[in-house]
Amino acid sequence: MIVLGDTRVICTASVEERVPAFLRGTGRGWVTAEYGMLPRATVERQPRPGSGGRTSGRIQEIQRLIGRSLRAVVDLPVLGERTLWIDCDVLQADGGTRTAAVSAACVALVEAVARLKSEGRIAQWPVRDLVAAVSAGVVDGKLLLDLAYVEDAGAAVDLNVVMTGGGLLVEIQGTGESGPFEFGQMQELVALVRAGISGLFARQREALTGIPGLETWLQGGEQGVGSRPGTCDRQSR
């Protein structure tokens, strides 16, 4: 579970010995995610995801973001024809649930892959690096990192940034909530994220420390963390 301020997200990983139809016979694996919020994760009760027969567009967007972020650091052919499902459930929401889910999902993914490797179900290590995400924004003219709900609701500019442990960008989602914003503001926000996200990577490493078979990888050896130009308690706001 990841805890960031008053936001709490729990992530679990499951291995399924099959892949989607479009990958059958290719020798490639797949990593995907599901995301949902408990009805009272927010101040006012929200209907359970899918309770009306359809998954909301917001949830679909977040699920795809988590999946893309994880696949960016996984060598899918090495994984073999199996699917890793990452389930992300928001227990309490106070902003930044999608970015928190990405960071926690990475830890769940690595733990699952470590189990596969220890059981001899994969021959090589498929995870190239850690991946984490955090939000940033402009609130009352100030640049802030990891926005709480109140800050996010009042932000003039809102960014969600996904990065690898090696410092490479995976995805940037940005919106000018009160109108267009300068390119320079985006650069400043990304720089703020780059400086602050290191704390999340440190927490990911702490959460993974002690898991058999991960010591060398966490230290960067044998194609470990950040070996290719490419982790869980939550950092307090």
- Domain-wise residue ranges, the chain: 2-218
DSSP 127: B
- Residue 183 pLDDT > 50: yes
- Residue 229 pLDDT > 80: no
Which residue from 94, 75, 79 is spatially nearest to 5, judged by alpha carbons? 94
- Residue 206 pLDDT > 90: yes
SS (H, E, C) 116-182: HHHCCCCCCCCECCCEEEEEEEEECCEEEECCCHHHHHCCCEEEEEEEECCCCEEEEEEEECCCCCC
Tokens 């490639």 locate to 28
Average pLDDT for 131-146: 97
- Residue 233 pLDDT > 60: no
Question: Tokens for 195?
Answer: 């400086």
Cβ neighbours of 154 (radius 10 Å): 15
Average pLDDT for 60-84: 97
Supply the pLDDT for residue 224. 56
Question: Tokens for 13?
Answer: 């990983």
Average pLDDT for 132-137: 97
Q: CATH fold of 2-218, please?
A: Ribosomal Protein S5; domain 2 (3.30.230)
Supply the pLDDT for residue 223. 53
**Residue-level length of the chain:** 237
Q: Alpha carbon of 77 to those of 23, 26, 126: distances in Å?
A: 11, 8, 8
- Residue 23 pLDDT > 80: yes
The residues pairing with 102 across neighbouring beta strands, listed in sequence order, are none
pTM score of the predicted model: 0.89
Mean of the per-residue pLDDT values for the chain? 90
Supply the pLDDT for residue 234. 33
Q: Are 234 and 5 in contact (CB under 8 A)?
A: yes
- Residue 236 pLDDT > 60: no
Helical H segments across the chain, by residue range? 57-71, 76-79, 97-118, 149-153, 183-196, 198-208, 215-218
Question: Tokens for 165?
Answer: 């442990």
Supply the pLDDT for residue 40. 78
Report d(CA 111, CA 221) in Å as an integer.
18
